């Protein structure tokens, strides 16, 4: 009987490699950085979900595009965010996505996902720094500042 050979393939999604390592002290820093590097178009027509992977000093290691969704939804599973966090030896994660409507107010699904994801992070020892929802003109909603984390 032939032996079965196991192989493993590690694939990463599109990344924004950061040459300089700015520190993220709060949600405004993350939003300003995202705008500076052009992560959100001026008139977005789709939800785009990003994850910032941070060092122990909250310096950006890498920013990954996790999901590109539709006008009002983006499908994201915790493992899609945690796998790159582990592979990049991240100490903390900051999640960020946009609302194409321009209103950064979180949906029930946004809040539920944030709470569930925070439990996953606690389980494996990676800090969830924040989940930031970006609207129009640089307006944002911070789940941490608003008590969802």
- Domain borders along the chain are 28-142
Q: Classify strands 15-17 and 48-54 as parallel, antiparallel or unpaired.
A: unpaired
pLDDT digits 0-9 by tens, 88-125: 999 999 999 999 999 999 999 999 999 999 999 999 99
pTM score over 0.85: no
Instruction: Please tell me the predicted confidence (pLDDT) of residue 91.
Output: 98
Q: With a cut of 70, which residues of the chain have pLDDT below it?
A: 1-20, 42-43
List phi, psi (to 5°) of 116: -65, -45
Alpha helices by DSSP H, listed for the chain, are 27-36, 78-87, 108-124
- Give me the residues paired with residue 98 across strands: 134
Q: Tell me which CATH code domain 28-142 carries.
A: 3.40.140.10
Our CA dihedral for 113, 68, 13, 87, rounded to 10 degrees, sits at -10
């Amino acid at each position: 009987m032939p032996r079965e050979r196991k192989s493993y393939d590690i694939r990463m999604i599109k990344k924004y490699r950061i040459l300089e390592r700015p520190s993220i002290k709060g949600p405004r820093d993350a939003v300003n950085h995202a705008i500076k590097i052009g992560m959100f178009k001026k008139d977005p027509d789709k939800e785009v979900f990003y994850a910032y992977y941070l060092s122990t000093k909250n310096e950006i290691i890498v920013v990954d595009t996790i999901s590109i969704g539709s006008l009002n939804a983006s499908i994201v599973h915790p493992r899609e965010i945690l796998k790159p966090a582990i592979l990049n030896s991240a100490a903390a994660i900051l999640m960020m996505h946009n609302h194409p409507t321009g209103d950064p107010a979180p949906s029930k699904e946004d809040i539920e996902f944030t709470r569930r994801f925070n439990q996953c992070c606690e389980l494996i020892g990676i800090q969830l720094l924040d989940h930031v929802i970006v609207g129009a003109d640089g307006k944002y909603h911070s789940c941490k500042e608003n008590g969802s984390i």
